Chains A and B, each alone.
Chain A
Amino acid sequence: MTRSLHRRSIIQIGVAVVAAATLVACSSSSSDGTSSTTSAAGTAPAATSPATASTAAAPTSTAGSSDASSPAATSAAPTDNGGATDTGVTADEILLGTTQPLTGPAAPGYSKISAAMNAYFEFANEAGGVNGRKVTLKVVDDGYNPAKTATLTRQLVLQDKVFALVGALGTPTHTAVLDFIKQNKVPDLFVSSGSRSWNQADKYPTTFGWQVDYTVEGKILGDYIKKNFAGKKVCSFGQNDDFGKDGVEGVELTLGAGSLVDKQNYTPTNTNVGPQIGALQAAGCEVVVSFTVPGFTALALGTAAQLKFAPQWVISNVGADIPTLTGFLKEATGPLLEGAVSDNYLPGSADTSNSWIKLFKTVNEKYNDNAPFDGNVVYGMAIAYTTLQVLAAAGPNLTRESVIEAVQKGGYTGPGLVSFRYSATDHSGYAGTQINVVKNGVATPTGPVYTTDDGTAPLTEYTEQQPEAPANGLPE
């Protein structure tokens, strides 16, 4: 009797589990449904590139040995351990790791970044690599879930023994692993997020930001609002973490505390933004500053259109890439985005006259399966270029300390429209950004490039010209 009871309860529980699992599967597949096209397109190249990078090992090492007469290679040879200068560095390879949202709410658009990084490293490896070593990037998918990032970052550092983390993506995800990274003294280069958390040189000495931080961005966007939409009711719509918080704080630094009529937030795991957009409409907002990832920019624009709410949108550059948004909004993109204000610290993907865009397009065709060329590809390749710059500057005797010193030395120029702020005390990235306005479906740069700090300093015009891309695509 007890036995049959057990059977029955086991079956009941089993049915319940299966039912619940189906529920979860349905909800996750429906949320994937919105993103399926872009994320599928993004994951495929990400998957293929590491393998092609490792199959490229043979040609690269021969390239390295034929290059042995170069001073870099000869000076690398006599070091101890056959060229292994630190964890993750051998005579012919530098192993890097990164956590990326290849699936989940931030995957649309962002899943293409690591593929572009890998493509650029592969291109560099075929040209001889860095000081005779090829660069290999191990990409792991955290689904934009901080709990997964915690485990995967440990896997990269403790199990795969990477030399450094590069371009780990996401504010909520990467915030969770800062202490672990500090404890293990791993260089944490160029976090793909504009949170100010990366800029804490005394607290997290090995962590560096790369893109313009959200507060600086917010100040510059706020300045544009002040000059062009004076007297209008300004509101904000932001992600409910440091991304949204830092950005809104920047806007308020320019417009004044309490100047925002309404502030709404969203959670990346909840795709219903109807209540928030409705609240913005009810508050009579005329200008909405949006600190959103691309998926939620699209949700906000779409929901507002359904509610017949048409404010002036001012969108953070991380959520304003037009090709990415077109993946969501399709033919509605043009009318919905026309006139929207955003900013960029990199040349726009549509700016084919720019030497860097020309270079990245060539690399994209040859090494990235000719993926649709958008802001994410430019971003990935630009971050890869900065990585190559600092690895080269750290010298042939590459160690974790030497690469951190190299970043702190600063003075790097490249695809960015502005300079970096790197120094021993400043670990934030690009110093400023340039406003652009969508005209006829193209993000058109408007006005000067501004730089500022994340405090109360005024905006300063940046006048230096962007350098031309090197002919061979590699930093000298």
Chain B
Amino acid sequence: MATTETTRPAATAAVSTRRQSWSTLVRHLALLAGGVVVVLLITGWFDDFANYQLATLGAYICAVAGLTLLTGTSGQISLGHGALMAIGGYTVALLQNQFADHGVTGLWVLPLSLLAGTVATALFGAAFGVAAARLRGPYLAGATLALGVALPSITSHFEVFQGDQGLFVPFDPPPAGLGDDFSLEHWQAWVSLGAALITLFLLANLQSSAVGRHMRAVRDDEIAASLAGLSVPRTQILAFTISSAAAGLGGGVFAFVLQTASPGSFGLVLSLTLLSAVIIGGLGSLTGAVLGSVIVVYLGTWLTDWIDGLGLDAGWAQNLHDHLPNATYGLLLILVMLLLPGGLAGLLRRIPRPRSPRRPRVGRPDPPDQPAAADQPVPPTAPPAPTTPPPGGQA
């Protein structure tokens, strides 16, 4: 009896969701196009070193966006995403070396390598996800931490990875059609930010799709989700796989930007940095993933520049250089956890928008009540439907 009652509203919800998903797709496409324009403008305006930093940022965004999906949307923690990036990075390095050794060149070579890195990491992530789906809380944290510690060390033990020295990543110069003045760093920024935009676009669509809703349902209440007919392990494994794919792409891009894949690039500190970026940016929010990545990539540079501008004597300046970035970083993490549970993205959401009164949305809950999930417009109309009613009905 209860089922017949709930199916009808669910069906109408599905229709409205479909209509809304079109507008969501259009909106995401518009954001993607906007992103491309911004990237083209910024990279054209920046100098080489700034473009190199942007390229690093792109790699971080890929991985952080994947991790925010895993931790924020699906509710699983990973302290080993740096290791997943290593799989992507080493795959790209090995492939690019093979291509270079056999004299294979072309514009498709690098995207193919990056794709292979993504797929390889996704496969590994799927396998690891099977184990991860059985673990909860500190056990999952421990298992992923072990992954983060062990995987980079493995590279020291096989000749093919060339130890701490790592692998060199050769690649073709930027296409000749872009002109002689087009620097390598400009090209790296294009490729890297392109990968980041694609990742963000796909993940944004995923988050507002049924799959994203399932992940949130599993995150909020596993028992309720399984009573609603969702397979909890399957959803969690899928989340781990997708998150790994994003990390693999990020790692591949990272290796391409650094022109090297070495254990030092993918250490435990990287894993923790990625998680910090997720928390600082705001759990589960893609906007937050971008903001968090910006903070972790640029905070050190900003502070260093600021210290240099102070005109301190050299001993003090060196002391500050050595310790201030880490101290600030830790302090920021603590402050965000205490004061801004929604991270920087949550802070952005608190700013009142002038256009909202003109376009009132029916059934949309108050944003601050959903700090993590409110980033996308679709869920608010539907989410109470699959998750909350069953427990409510039982009670």
Residue in B258, B260, B263, B372 whose beta carbon sits within 8 Å of that of A6 in the complex = B372
> A457 an interface residue at 8 Å Cβ cutoff?
no
> A471 an interface residue at 8 Å Cβ cutoff?
no
Distance A155 CA – B47 CA, assembled complex (angstroms) = 12
For B147, the chain A residues whose CB sits under 8 A away are none
Most interface-central of B173, B264, B279, B337 (chain A CB within 10 A): B264
Contacting pair B153 A270 (CB below 8 A):
yes
Beyond A16-B141, A158-B47, whether A6 also contacts B168 by CB under 8 A is: no
In chain B, what residue has the closest Cβ to A14?
Answer: B337
Distance A183 CA – B180 CA, assembled complex (angstroms) = 12
Least Cβ–Cβ distance between A15 and chain B, in angstroms: 9
For A12, the chain B residues whose CB sits under 8 A away are 77, 137-138
Least Cβ–Cβ distance between A230 and chain B, in angstroms: 31
Contacting pair B52 A154 (CB below 8 A):
yes
Contacting pair B275 A17 (CB below 8 A):
yes
Contacting pair A24 B269 (CB below 8 A):
yes
Contacting pair A179 B279 (CB below 8 A):
no
Least Cβ–Cβ distance between A170 and chain B, in angstroms: 9
Chain B positions 349 through 376: 1 when the CB is less than 8 Å from some CB of chain A, otherwise 0:
0000000000000000000011111000
Residue in B138, B262, B283, B318 whose beta carbon sits within 8 Å of that of A10 in the complex = B283
Contacting pair B341 A159 (CB below 8 A):
no
Residue in A17, A48, A269 whose beta carbon sits within 8 Å of that of B333 in the complex = A17
For B49, the chain A residues whose CB sits under 8 A away are 154-155, 158-159
> B200 an interface residue at 8 Å Cβ cutoff?
no
Contacting pair A47 B275 (CB below 8 A):
no
Interface residues of B in 222-262 (CB under 8 A from A): 258-260, 262
Distance A240 CA – B161 CA, assembled complex (angstroms) = 11
Contacting pair B56 A50 (CB below 8 A):
no
> B209 an interface residue at 8 Å Cβ cutoff?
no
For A176, the chain B residues whose CB sits under 8 A away are 165-166, 168, 258-260, 262
Chain A positions 30 through 68: 1 when the CB is less than 8 Å from some CB of chain B, otherwise 0:
000000000000011001111110000000000000000
Distance A172 CA – B263 CA, assembled complex (angstroms) = 11
> B5 an interface residue at 8 Å Cβ cutoff?
no
For B47, the chain A residues whose CB sits under 8 A away are 158
> A286 an interface residue at 8 Å Cβ cutoff?
no
Residue in A5, A10, A148, A150 whose beta carbon sits within 8 Å of that of B259 in the complex = A150
For B162, the chain A residues whose CB sits under 8 A away are 241
For B371, the chain A residues whose CB sits under 8 A away are 3, 6
Most interface-central of B56, B77, B260, B341 (chain A CB within 10 A): B260
Interface residues of A in 239-258 (CB under 8 A from B): 239-242
Chain B positions 51 through 87: 1 when the CB is less than 8 Å from some CB of chain A, otherwise 0:
0100010000000000000010001010100000000
Residue in B48, B75, B184, B264 whose beta carbon sits within 8 Å of that of A147 in the complex = B264
> A171 an interface residue at 8 Å Cβ cutoff?
yes
Contacting pair B164 A269 (CB below 8 A):
yes
Of the four ranges (under 10, 10 to 19, 20 to 34, 35 or more), the interface on chain B belongs to 35 or more
In terms of DSSP, what is the predominant structure of the interface of chain A? helix
> B314 an interface residue at 8 Å Cβ cutoff?
yes
Interface residues of B in 326-346 (CB under 8 A from A): 330, 333, 337, 341
Contacting pair B314 A145 (CB below 8 A):
no
For A180, the chain B residues whose CB sits under 8 A away are 184, 259
Residue in A48, A51, A145, A270 whose beta carbon sits within 8 Å of that of B264 in the complex = A145
For B153, the chain A residues whose CB sits under 8 A away are 267, 270
Least Cβ–Cβ distance between B80 and chain A, in angstroms: 10
Contacting pair A175 B168 (CB below 8 A):
yes
> A232 an interface residue at 8 Å Cβ cutoff?
no
Least Cβ–Cβ distance between B386 and chain A, in angstroms: 14
> B390 an interface residue at 8 Å Cβ cutoff?
no
Least Cβ–Cβ distance between B336 and chain A, in angstroms: 9
> A279 an interface residue at 8 Å Cβ cutoff?
no
Residue in A1, A10, A24, A148 whose beta carbon sits within 8 Å of that of B341 in the complex = A10
Residue in B141, B262, B272, B318 whose beta carbon sits within 8 Å of that of A172 in the complex = B262
> A151 an interface residue at 8 Å Cβ cutoff?
yes
Residue in A9, A49, A172, A270 whose beta carbon sits within 8 Å of that of B165 in the complex = A172
Contacting pair B164 A240 (CB below 8 A):
yes
For A424, the chain B residues whose CB sits under 8 A away are none
Least Cβ–Cβ distance between A214 and chain B, in angstroms: 14
Residue in A150, A159, A172 whose beta carbon sits within 8 Å of that of B164 in the complex = A172
For A148, the chain B residues whose CB sits under 8 A away are 264
Distance A177 CA – B185 CA, assembled complex (angstroms) = 14
Interface residues of A in 144-176 (CB under 8 A from B): 145-148, 150-151, 154-155, 158-159, 171-172, 175-176
Known: A16-B141, A24-B269. 15 other contacts (CB 8 A): A2-B369, A10-B279, A13-B279, A20-B145, A20-B272, A50-B314, A147-B260, A154-B52, A158-B47, A175-B168, A179-B170, A240-B165, A241-B164, A267-B156, A267-B164
Residues of B within 8 A of A (CB): 47-49, 52, 56, 71, 75, 77, 79, 137-138, 141, 145, 153, 156, 162-166, 168, 170, 173, 184-185, 219-220, 258-260, 262-265, 268-269, 272, 275-276, 279, 283, 313-315, 317-318, 330, 333, 337, 341, 369-373
Task: Please list the 5 inter-chain residue pairs (A to B) with the smallest Cβ-Cβ separation, ordered nearest first.
Answer: A51-B314, A47-B318, A172-B165, A147-B265, A158-B49
9 contacts between A and B (CB under 8 A): A13-B279, A16-B138, A50-B314, A150-B258, A150-B259, A154-B52, A171-B165, A176-B166, A183-B184
Residues of A within 8 A of B (CB): 1-3, 5-7, 9-14, 16-17, 20-21, 24, 43-44, 47-52, 145-148, 150-151, 154-155, 158-159, 171-172, 175-180, 183, 239-242, 265, 267-270
